[in-house]
Amino acid sequence: MPKYVIERDIPGAGQLSAEQLKGISQTSCAVLGELGPRIQWLQSYVTGDKVYCIYIAPDEAMVREHAARGGFPANRVSEVATIIDPTTAE
């Protein structure tokens, strides 16, 4: 199943409190529950004004549906072509 990186523009994301992040996560998980097991949230990286989320989903449309239902921006959705890490150099 394809993996996606979702770039979300969220001004002040890096200053969100633990409670705010918990609430966002709860909303996301509730929507995932509605959409079923074909879409999975792996993890997210919170930076100053953006959140980068990693999802597994059958297609970009389902990723965007999750964002729409959850009220999250999905400014850029990119399918991962391949993954490399330090072991790729070996």
Q: What is the mean pLDDT of residues 8-25?
A: 96
Q: Does domain 3-84 have CATH number 3.30.70.3090?
A: yes
Which residue, among 23, 75, 85, has the nearest Cα to 49 in the 3D structure? Answer: 75
Q: For residue 5, what pLDDT is reported? A: 98
- pLDDT tens digits along 38-69: 999 999 999 999 999 999 999 999 999 999 99
Beta strands in 1-90 (DSSP E): 3-9, 40-46, 50-56, 76-79
Instruction: Taking the CA atoms of 14, 18, 20 and 22 in sequence, report the sign of the dihedral they define.
Output: positive
Q: For residue 80, what pLDDT is reported? A: 98
Q: What is the pTM of this model?
A: 0.92
Q: What is the mean pLDDT of residues 65-83?
A: 97
Q: For residue 49, what pLDDT is reported? A: 97
Q: How long a stretch of residues is the chain?
A: 90
